Structure 1
Amino acid sequence: MVIDNIVLSLVTRVEAGDGDALLEFHRASVAGNFTLAAGEREDIAFQLSVPWETPVTHLQGRRLAGMTMGVRTELSVAKAVDQGDLDEVEIHPLPVQEQILAAFDRLGFRLRHADLERGGIYGVRQELPFYQEIEFAAPPEYAKSMDEVEVTFVADATGTEVILEFDKRGGLLAEGRDTYARYRVEHTDAQTADWTSSVQKWIHQAVTSHSASP
């Protein structure tokens, strides 16, 4: 039997207006053009590079609630394609992303869950057709200003955009409006910056800007 091609694809669950569905967002050929005899087994070593924007599925050794991601193996034999089941994969945050998420935790924000929203973020360059929102419940000291904050990362080879959405139920920070903030951080700053101070400053800027809004 001639194996024409072996393709691995990354698949995740994305929310849309009419519900959610599994979506393939990355695929790569890892082997092909070889022959297997009846009963023969072949072990294939491979590496699968993932896009910079690939959403996080695990944080601090635990799976993020709401996240589903797997790798699917596709085998091409005699021009016929056979797709296998999904095998779960773990995607951990990039170092700078992990530092920012840890800073929210140190400031008392409690991780709730994460989800993927189909579409793009205005003004942000994206390669994938969706973005991730990682939701934290705000600590009591921010109760008058916000109930929760959603953190979105859109990464590339040099750094990541950090998009923050601050929400107050019944009206975010001011009469039903969501508060958004956007920052750019570099991968090289992951171990050198004071991320607790930086995140605290971002939160303060969001609260004070809306307090000053008419």
Structure 2
Amino acid sequence: MVFKRLRQALGVGGPAVETVLVSPDCRPGGHLEGHIQVVAGDQSVDLTSVALGLVTWVEVESGDSAYDTTQEFGHQQVAGTFRLDPGQRYDVPFRVEVPWEMPLTELFGQRLSGVTVGLRAELKVARAVDQADLVPVAVHPLPAQERLLAALLRLGFRCARAGVERGHLYGVHQTLPFYQQIEFLPSPRYARVIKQLEVIFVTDPDRMRVVLELDRRAARFTGRDVFARFTVDHATVDQTDWPAQLTTWLPHPTPTPFRPQAG
């Protein structure tokens, strides 16, 4: 699939840039491949470098308020100095490694509301820098992530939205300056004890660390978050009954009222 952004960069008659992806689909720990096509305008130009960066929107908490901003990560140079004559085209191939902690954008064929991730090309000419628009990518969950999320759906939880928050989780090693939260609304049997459940993954090549954050309805838990933390090895994820395991960490659900059968 091809995503395009053609624009006049660095002034009238400057070079135009087009980013072409082999496929926009990827998974954490995978890669994205393609090429950047740079076409000179009506004058010669000496480019200092061509670079690519992954970008996502993050929420930043500041005191009693919060705001959204872009966060670049995985920045890498894909070409050094070269000269373009008027109208000349230059193709720059690239292979971008996708971090293991990459935010997910897709879940079981549906787009996760609230998350945007993409690639952004950057051209440098002398001291001038120009960035193209964001080229969106689709990040699908790893098998271990799918197993746990599917278990929540089997328990009746409903995915509401997701977001990316700048910061670090206490006691969890991260390589990126942010983490993703996937929010679920409870099933009817949990609705009286849970207002919301947030799932956080911090993944590396061998395992994923999972944080479950509960917003409980009980008065004595008002204003407090309840956490469950555990680690899952990618190689052994299929050896666990995840719906059963999750019920041991979740609060006891509201019992179903007994209704005697007529007759």
Task: Tell me the TM-score normalised to structure 2 length.
Answer: 0.71
Equivalent residues in 2 for 1:20-169, closer than 5 Å:
20-169=68-217
Instruction: Say which is worse superposed, 113-122 or 79-88, in terms of deviation.
Output: 79-88
CA contact (8 A) 1:96 1:187 kept: yes
Residue 227 of structure 2 is aligned to residue 180 of structure 1: yes
Q: Structure 2: how far apart are the matches of 1:189 and 1:50?
A: 23
User: Residue 104 of structure 2: SS of its match in structure 1?
Assistant: coil
Pick from 246, 249, 254: which aligns with 1:202?
Answer: 249
CA contact (8 A) 1:170 1:176 kept: no
Q: Structure 1: how far apart are the matches of 2:237 and 2:87?
A: 50
**Structure 1: which 5+ residue stretches go unaligned?**
209-214
Q: CA deviation at 1:155?
A: 0.9
CA gap of 1:113–1:29, structure 2 versus 1, over 3 A, is: same
Deviations 1:80-108 (CA, angstroms, capped at 9, x unpaired): 32211111111111221111111111111
CA gap of 1:190–1:36, structure 2 versus 1, over 3 A, is: farther
> How many residues matched?
204
Structure 2 equivalent of residue 3 of structure 1: 47
Q: Structure 2: how far apart are the matches of 1:193 and 1:2?
A: 58
RMSD: 2.0
Instruction: Say which is worse superposed, 131-140 or 18-27, in terms of deviation.
Output: 18-27
CA contact (8 A) 1:8 1:72 kept: yes
Q: Which is higher, the Rg of structure 1 or of structure 2?
A: 2
CA contact (8 A) 2:46 2:84 kept: yes
User: Residue 48 of structure 2: SS of its match in structure 1?
Assistant: strand
Q: Structure 2: how far apart are the matches of 1:195 and 1:77?
A: 53
Moved over 4 A (4+): none
> Which structure is higher in strand share?
2
Identity %: 47
Letter in 1 for 2:99: P
> Which structure is higher in helix share?
1
Q: CA deviation at 1:34?
A: 3.6
Pick from 57, 60, 64: which aligns with 1:13?
Answer: 57
Task: Tell me the TM-score normalised to structure 1 length.
Answer: 0.86
CA contact (8 A) 2:193 2:218 kept: no
Q: Structure 2: how far apart are the matches of 1:195 and 1:170?
A: 25
Q: Structure 1: how far apart are the matches of 2:56 and 2:175?
A: 15
CA contact (8 A) 1:75 1:83 kept: yes
CA contact (8 A) 2:193 2:217 kept: no
